[in-house]
Structure 1
Amino acid sequence: MKSAQDGYCFSFPAVRGIQAGKPFYIATCPLSTIPKIFVFDEDEVPPELRAQRTLNKARIPEMVRYLVDNPDDYVFSALTVSVASSVSFDESEHSESSNLGTLRIPMNAQILINDGQHRRAAIEAALKERPELAYDNIPVLFFVDEGLTRSQQMFADLNKYAVKPSPSLAALYDSRDESSELARYLAQKVKPFAGFTEMEKSSISSKSGKLFTLSSLKQANRALFGKGMKDCFTEQEKELAAEFWQAVYESTPEWQMVINKQLAPSQFRQEYVHAHGVGLHALGSLGCALITAQPDEWKETIKKLINVDWKKSNPIWANRSMLHGKLSKASTNIMLTTNALKHALSLSLTPDERTLENQYIPNSEASNG
């Protein structure tokens, strides 16, 4: 690990490549070395003098938990770093390719992370809980730095076209999240979701034959059981969810009309509140209150939904589901929509719900429910 030119150095088996006429290097590094070698700019440095965003510490615990809980089944993508120093690359004598060899970086060189500073922080914290992760590896993409301006441009370029998957697509592919698993099950097995759930996108086009998005179904189930983002679902809860949504379906004529091809999905979405996420989420919240209050009678009470006028033109939805003629999925509007449904089923409002009702709908009958 010593170079005649630069003294002691870090050595990495690496592959050399060319991009935009400049060399770059790909190496695999033990996780144990990541916190020691790679640094990121301190928070107090002004943004114009940094090469990347400040560390969002709120993101770290979830990433740490992912590593710690899945030591045999995790995936971390490569770190991208800039080396603020000259480097040397010794071609391997045992390879026919001149691009295989050893990358040598002076130990006093500053190596800044252009992409992956949150992964680096999560690795450092996870190693404290699971030291055995130290022997795992992560790929690292090395660029030779050409100054702050170049590093800032690299950060901008790396993030310019980065697009997170839609919440629905994330729920479709996430086999670890039980709320996603429950949503996928209902989307495949239970009316009105089977065959009418948009599994990839988080919005539905006007001409689509789908009714709900997978992400809105996932949120509605969390509301049904009062669950947080990462809470687990028991088998009994999964069965109850299927029973609840089936009962709602049987008490909702418009859903039945769509399933029986008596009402076009596009017309349904255009005219009715319960064709959208705000209605579905409110129904989940209603179910939570109803099943808690009437664990043995809720199936009979839910039949009163048949009397609800879900048309957007119904004045009851003004300032609840509808704001200035448009649907709103804000938490306040979901709660106000739930209030109207609770009133329809003769369920009492909680003090917080009554306060919200009086604040936004002063003359509503539901405020006295």
Structure 2
Amino acid sequence: MDAPFEYVFPAIRGLQAGREYYVSMCPLRLLPKIFLFNEEELVPELRAQRQLNRGRLPEIARYIVENKDSYVFSAITASVDADIRFAAAENLGEQGLVGLLHIPMNARFIINDGQHRRAAIESALRDAPELANESIAVVLFHDKGLERCQQMFADLNRYAVRPARSLSVLYDHRDDQAQLAKLVISRLPSFRGLVEMERSTLSARSRRLFTLSAIYTATATLLTGLPEGDPDSRAGYAAAFWSAVADQFPEWAAVRDGSLTSGEVRETFIHTHGVVLHALGRVGNGLLPGTKARTGDDWTDRLGGLRQIDWRRTNPAWEGRTTIGGRVSKSFQNVILTGNAIKLRLGLPLGSEEQRLEDAHARGADAAA
């Protein structure tokens, strides 16, 4: 028996792999009502989607609510388990691509891609009901069974690749820390031409010494706890610090003037690697005016001690701190231990957590000996 009621979507008809599919718009207020997700209790073999990760939802919902005038979402893809009918617009003939898609109200919609967007939109509407009449694009396929739905999920995610962190920072105009990092780089001759702005890893042949993502993390750490102020003054603090740091590393200047290659510096020394920049940010956080651990003396004089440190990768003092088995490690524990080594050489006190990790590192070194 035909369902007496139906949804009618204005839609565009397309063809992929010999199968018709349809593109339409769905008001945000209807999205949670039509596209249900009730597969959480099923074993993975019987689901057509990954399990909903509710921990991701608050961040996505907050993104919508805080950027109501500029948020953007890609289309949701779903399969429809029902007999659907496409009626082309009368003036376009039966083969027309624009028309109305008729779907029975007892149809089941299975989300193949976009379940977290759907759930986050439902959450965001509770805080910002004024968004209810906005819409999101929906791509609809005819459901050919569980196996087909699972294959669609696998295919849709087969070539999904997150952009490199550096590129995300470069293109992010909402994140104040991203804006700050880019402002510092533009102001600082010591970094100019030496920062890879697109990739988050450096190849052996790269002419760059640093990545934008590493500068971003290190600068955000540097300014943690600093009183909020205008971006220009915060950038001034950061630029002054990194300029003073750069003065302690003649190898950085040698790369700029061409007497050394960046590959030679990265291979021989550790001071251009992200873990060390992050550690230097932690060190600087205790030196800049306004931070809790301010020493009270001229922080630029303190940084002069960086020249007295043996930064060669082969220095055994870095093993277990910056390197593990000779390879540079980016773990947060290694960031702290690297920062500890720098602080101790500069005569700076360690915090309680830093001291705890330092004691554990010393015990491990004693046991290995």
TM-score under structure 2 length normalisation: 0.93
* Partners of 2:88 and 2:100 within 8 A in 1: yes
* Partners of 1:12 and 1:27 within 8 A in 2: yes
Q: Distance in 2 between matches of 1:142 and 1:296?
A: 66
Q: Distance in 2 between matches of 1:125 and 1:252?
A: 50
Instruction: Identify which of 268, 272, 277 aligns with 2:265.
Output: 268
Q: Distance in 1 between matches of 2:25 and 2:91?
A: 19
Counterpart position of 2:192:
194
SS in 2 for 1:310: coil
Range moving further from structure 2, 148-157 or 298-307:
298-307
Structure 1 residues 363 and 95: alpha-carbon distance in aligned structure 2, compared to 1, 3 A threshold = closer
Counterpart position of 1:16:
13
Q: Distance in 2 between matches of 1:95 and 1:225?
A: 61
Counterpart position of 1:42:
39
* Partners of 2:89 and 2:98 within 8 A in 1: yes
Instruction: Identify which of 201, 211, 214 aligns with 1:213.
Output: 211
Structure 1 residues 164 and 10: alpha-carbon distance in aligned structure 2, compared to 1, 3 A threshold = same
Counterpart position of 2:173:
175
Range moving further from structure 2, 248-257 or 74-83:
248-257
Aligned length: 358
Say yes or no: does 1:27 pair with 2:19.
no
Counterpart position of 1:330:
331
Counterpart position of 2:282:
285
Structure 1 residues 111 and 295: alpha-carbon distance in aligned structure 2, compared to 1, 3 A threshold = farther
Instruction: Identify which of 154, 164, 173 aligns with 1:156.
Output: 154
Range moving further from structure 2, 166-175 or 94-103:
94-103
Shift of 1:234: 4.2
Q: Distance in 2 between matches of 1:322 and 1:180?
A: 28
* Partners of 1:290 and 1:347 within 8 A in 2: no
* Identity over aligned pairs, percent: 45
Uncovered stretches (5+) of structure 1, i.e. residues with no partner? 365-369
Q: Distance in 2 between matches of 1:361 and 1:333?
A: 14
Instruction: Identify which of 129, 132, 145 aligns with 1:131.
Output: 129
Q: Distance in 2 between matches of 1:214 and 1:348?
A: 29
Instruction: Identify which of 143, 146, 150 aligns with 2:144.
Output: 146
Uncovered stretches (5+) of structure 2, i.e. residues with no partner? none
Say yes or no: does 1:6 pair with 2:7.
no
Structure 1 residues 311 and 98: alpha-carbon distance in aligned structure 2, compared to 1, 3 A threshold = same
Return the letter of the residue paired with 1:168: S
* Partners of 1:26 and 1:141 within 8 A in 2: yes
* Partners of 1:90 and 1:101 within 8 A in 2: yes
Return the letter of the residue paired with 1:169: L
Shift of 1:225: 2.1
SS in 2 for 1:135: coil
Counterpart position of 1:358:
359
SS in 2 for 1:7: coil
* Partners of 1:253 and 1:306 within 8 A in 2: no
Q: What is the Cα-based RMSD across aligned positions, in Å? A: 1.8
The runs of 4+ residues in structure 1 deviating greater than 6 Å are none
SS in 1 for 2:132: helix
Instruction: Identify which of 232, 241, 246 aligns with 2:243.
Output: 246
* Partners of 2:184 and 2:235 within 8 A in 1: no
* Partners of 2:246 and 2:252 within 8 A in 1: yes
Range moving further from structure 2, 289-298 or 313-322:
289-298
User: What does 1:83-162 align with in structure 2 at a 5 Å threshold?
Assistant: 83-95=80-92, 98-162=96-160
Counterpart position of 1:313:
314
* Partners of 1:273 and 1:310 within 8 A in 2: yes
Structure 1 residues 131 and 94: alpha-carbon distance in aligned structure 2, compared to 1, 3 A threshold = farther
TM-score under structure 1 length normalisation: 0.93
